[in-house]
Amino acid sequence: MSAAMAIEMVGYLGSVLVVVSMLMTSVRRLRIVNAVGAGIFTIYALLIQSYPTAFMNFCLVVIDVYHLMRMKKDKQ
Protein backbone atom coordinates (compact mmCIF):
# COMPACT_ATOMS: atom_id res chain seq x y z
CA MET A 1 0.00 0.00 0.00
CA SER A 2 1.42 3.36 -1.00
CA ALA A 3 1.66 6.30 1.38
CA ALA A 4 -0.92 8.25 -0.63
CA MET A 5 -3.37 5.36 -0.39
CA ALA A 6 -2.78 5.04 3.36
CA ILE A 7 -3.49 8.77 3.79
CA GLU A 8 -6.70 8.42 1.78
CA MET A 9 -7.78 5.50 3.99
CA VAL A 10 -7.34 7.72 7.07
CA GLY A 11 -9.62 10.28 5.45
CA TYR A 12 -12.25 7.69 4.59
CA LEU A 13 -12.15 6.24 8.11
CA GLY A 14 -12.69 9.67 9.66
CA SER A 15 -15.50 10.45 7.25
CA VAL A 16 -17.26 7.14 7.87
CA LEU A 17 -17.09 7.59 11.64
CA VAL A 18 -18.54 11.10 11.44
CA VAL A 19 -21.40 9.87 9.24
CA VAL A 20 -22.03 6.82 11.44
CA SER A 21 -22.14 9.04 14.52
CA MET A 22 -25.18 10.79 13.03
CA LEU A 23 -27.03 7.46 13.09
CA MET A 24 -26.62 7.07 16.86
CA THR A 25 -29.71 7.38 19.04
CA SER A 26 -27.70 7.93 22.21
CA VAL A 27 -26.35 11.49 22.42
CA ARG A 28 -23.38 10.30 24.51
CA ARG A 29 -22.44 7.65 21.96
CA LEU A 30 -22.95 10.16 19.12
CA ARG A 31 -20.52 12.59 20.77
CA ILE A 32 -17.90 9.90 21.38
CA VAL A 33 -17.99 8.47 17.85
CA ASN A 34 -18.14 11.95 16.33
CA ALA A 35 -15.15 13.11 18.40
CA VAL A 36 -13.08 10.11 17.29
CA GLY A 37 -14.10 10.57 13.66
CA ALA A 38 -13.44 14.30 13.72
CA GLY A 39 -10.07 13.67 15.39
CA ILE A 40 -9.06 11.21 12.69
CA PHE A 41 -10.31 13.59 10.01
CA THR A 42 -8.27 16.40 11.62
CA ILE A 43 -5.14 14.28 11.22
CA TYR A 44 -6.06 13.53 7.61
CA ALA A 45 -6.63 17.22 6.86
CA LEU A 46 -3.24 18.10 8.34
CA LEU A 47 -1.57 15.37 6.27
CA ILE A 48 -3.02 16.82 3.07
CA GLN A 49 -2.38 20.38 4.30
CA SER A 50 -6.04 21.38 4.28
CA TYR A 51 -5.83 23.69 7.27
CA PRO A 52 -9.40 25.07 7.22
CA THR A 53 -10.75 21.50 7.26
CA ALA A 54 -8.33 20.57 10.05
CA PHE A 55 -9.40 23.61 12.07
CA MET A 56 -13.11 22.86 11.66
CA ASN A 57 -12.73 19.23 12.66
CA PHE A 58 -10.51 20.13 15.61
CA CYS A 59 -13.25 22.52 16.76
CA LEU A 60 -15.76 19.66 16.51
CA VAL A 61 -13.54 17.51 18.73
CA VAL A 62 -13.33 20.31 21.32
CA ILE A 63 -17.11 20.82 21.22
CA ASP A 64 -17.79 17.09 21.60
CA VAL A 65 -15.35 16.75 24.51
CA TYR A 66 -16.86 19.81 26.20
CA HIS A 67 -20.37 18.37 25.96
CA LEU A 68 -19.20 14.95 27.14
CA MET A 69 -17.60 16.56 30.19
CA ARG A 70 -20.80 18.51 30.91
CA MET A 71 -22.84 15.33 30.58
CA LYS A 72 -20.55 13.55 33.01
CA LYS A 73 -20.69 16.46 35.48
CA ASP A 74 -24.51 16.64 35.26
CA LYS A 75 -24.73 12.90 35.87
CA GLN A 76 -22.74 13.19 39.10
pLDDT digits (tens, 9 = 90+) for 5-62: 999 999 999 999 999 999 999 999 999 999 999 999 999 999 999 999 999 999 999 9
Grade residue 76 by pLDDT with cuts at 50, 70 and 90: confident
Q: Where are the alpha helices (DSSP H) in the chain?
A: 3-21, 27-47, 51-75
Q: Please report the pLDDT score of residue 1 as a whole number.
A: 80
